Amino acid sequence: MASSRAQGSTAAYPPTRPGSPRDLSLNIAFDYQSTAQTTSSEWNEKESPAENLHAQSGMVNATSGKDSGTGVGEGVGYFGMSSGATLLHMIQRLAHGNNVNLAYRLRSGPDSSTGTPGSILAGERRETFVLPPARETAPLVDSYFQYFHALTPILHEPTIRAQLTGALPLPTGNGAQVMFNMIFATGANDLATSEMPRDNGVQYYERARAALQHDLLEGGSLLLVQGLAIMAIYLQRNDKPNTSYICLGLAIRIAMALGLHVSTTNGNGKGLTVLESEMRCRIWWGLVTLETGHCMTFGRPHALSFLSLFSARLPVNTEDEYLTVSSTQQPPDVPDLTRYSPLIKQARLAQLALHSLDRISRSLPSPTVEQIKWCGEYFRDQLAALPAYMQPTGSPPDRLAWAVQIWRSRDYMSILYRPVFLSAAWSSGSGAASVEQVREIVE
């Protein structure tokens, strides 16, 4: 049993490395599709009816090499290995002598070099918005970063605070409106002292929802992903579980369209700064942990593939002071507790929980007791293998975040063994035998 648990896969499945010919390095193709289109921070498909005909030629423009000097994958989204567009662009690259500097751009509209609409974001998404007075929002921002951010750090606190104080330009567009208003709404919700609607930040939520409705299905950005993720938790806390579930699913889809599920090398020369690359990683794993919590809370299938769970790198275990907008090198992992240690452990818990639940779901018509025990032992073994600093005792910093990790581990184990206890309770056989089986599993 231990050996099969260590292998974690079917023996008949071809091994990834040993079976591959030594002179055929498949990672070349996969590295290409993993890095070529992961620098875009937004995409847009908003067009007027008069532009639809021109938009239909977008893929032709992309495959013919038109505008090959523009940024890689800007404003369109991520296309993976199975995409025909990726194949055509690989062929284009080979036709140009495998020039690694050859950039391409998939288009949903006219060429941006002509100055016509389509490949640039619509004008209304670039409108600025006016923030509420600082005296009104300052305590809400402090509350957000004290409570929500400690559990799900998908924002870069120094950047957000600098933007709110005017030290950095305030981002524009509807995605920014959604994100900032949800920061205010969540902060107000955590500070609420009564059940009055205005006390829980509903006015900021309404503003975020209004901004969201402008071009919800025709454009996406990192800011919108962050805003939707925060909105999902806000809605769940305010007794709207289905709206929350759908909102988070939308955030995950937009994130995948932007390629957040694919790891990028920090400072990879593809247009990403070290901070931008790390933030994409933090946002992705924040979404994964939120999705894990949702699917286990509601007893629903998760929306993540095996590849998206195990191909993306985990966040770097470091403090924000070592990762700034001017950083040119990724800071090393610190073998100690940081603000992002709870997120890293949450991500590992999510990987283990979803992987085990997937195994259980494939055990039709129902899993055996042995299979459930296997998953439970696998989960415990993997948790025990985490570094010592990831298993703090006493009163560590961010105690709330670490207490949540302990609760989630116990909650997963109770969910895993729940069918055993229910079956024993409903068993029509000998009560003594059922009790003995349950005692054996618990021990």
What are the sequence ranges of the domains in the chain? 30-119, 134-364
Distance of CA 67 to the CA centre of its chain: 31
CA-angle at 435, arms to 431 and 439, nearest 5°: 170
Average pLDDT over residues 310-333: 89
pLDDT band at 38 (very low <50, low <70, confident <90, very high): low
Q: In 74-110, which positions are buried (b, 16+ CB within 10 angstroms) versus exposed (e)?
A: bbbbbbbeeeebbebbbebbeeeeeeeebbbbbbbbb
Q: Are 227 and 220 in contact (CB under 8 A)?
A: no
Euclidean distance between CA atoms 303 and 174, whole angstroms: 25
Q: Environment class of residue 25 by beta-carbon count within 10 Å: exposed (0-12), middle (13-18) or buried (19+)?
A: exposed
Q: How many CB atoms lie within 10 A of CB 327?
A: 15
Across 118-132, 142-156, 189-203, 393-407, least confident range: 118-132
Q: Specify the higher pLDDT residue, 189 or 120.
A: 189
pLDDT at 110: 35
Across 28-42, 186-200, 271-285, 374-388, least confident range: 28-42
Nearest to 154 by CA among 334, 336, 280: 280
* DSSP states of 190-216: HH--S--GGGGTHHHHHHHHHHHTSST
Report which DSSP code applies to 219. Answer: E
pLDDT at 303: 82
pLDDT at 1: 46
| Residue ranges in 123-173 assigned as alpha helix (H) | 134-146, 148-151, 157-165
| Structure token digits, residue 56 | 């239909």
Euclidean distance between CA atoms 180 and 162, whole angstroms: 13
Percent of the chain with pLDDT over 70: 63
Nearest to 201 by CA among 159, 152, 147, 127: 147
Nearest to 58 by CA among 113, 105, 93, 110: 110
pLDDT band at 233 (very low <50, low <70, confident <90, very high): very high
Average pLDDT over residues 49-61: 44
Write the single-letter amino acid at 352. Answer: L
pLDDT band at 434 (very low <50, low <70, confident <90, very high): low
Average confidence score pLDDT of the chain: 74
Radius of gyration for the alpha carbons in the chain, expressed in angstroms and rounded: 24
Average pLDDT over residues 401-423: 83
Distance of CA 141 to the CA centre of its chain: 22
Phi, psi dihedral angles at 283 (to 5 degrees): -60, -45
Euclidean distance between CA atoms 45 and 118, whole angstroms: 7
Taken in order 337, 338, 339, 343, the sign of the CA dihedral is negative
Cis check: omega of the bond before 365, within 30 degrees of 0: yes
pLDDT band at 54 (very low <50, low <70, confident <90, very high): very low
pLDDT at 243 > cutoff 80: yes
Write the single-letter amino acid at 340. Answer: Y
Average pLDDT over residues 312-338: 90
Q: Which pLDDT tens digit goes with each residue over 151-210?
A: 999 999 999 999 999 999 999 888 999 999 999 999 999 998 666 656 788 999 999 999
Across 33-47, 176-190, 323-337, least confident range: 33-47
Q: Are 278 and 323 in contact (CB under 8 A)?
A: yes
In what helix (H) or strand (E) does residue 376 lie, and over which residues does it extend? helix 369-384
If DSSP codes are grouped into helix, strand and coil, which group holds residue 19?
coil
pLDDT band at 287 (very low <50, low <70, confident <90, very high): very high
pLDDT at 130 > cutoff 90: no
pLDDT at 126 > cutoff 70: no
pLDDT at 139 > cutoff 60: yes
pLDDT at 392: 75
pLDDT at 365 > cutoff 50: yes
pLDDT at 308: 73
Q: What pTM does this model have?
A: 0.75
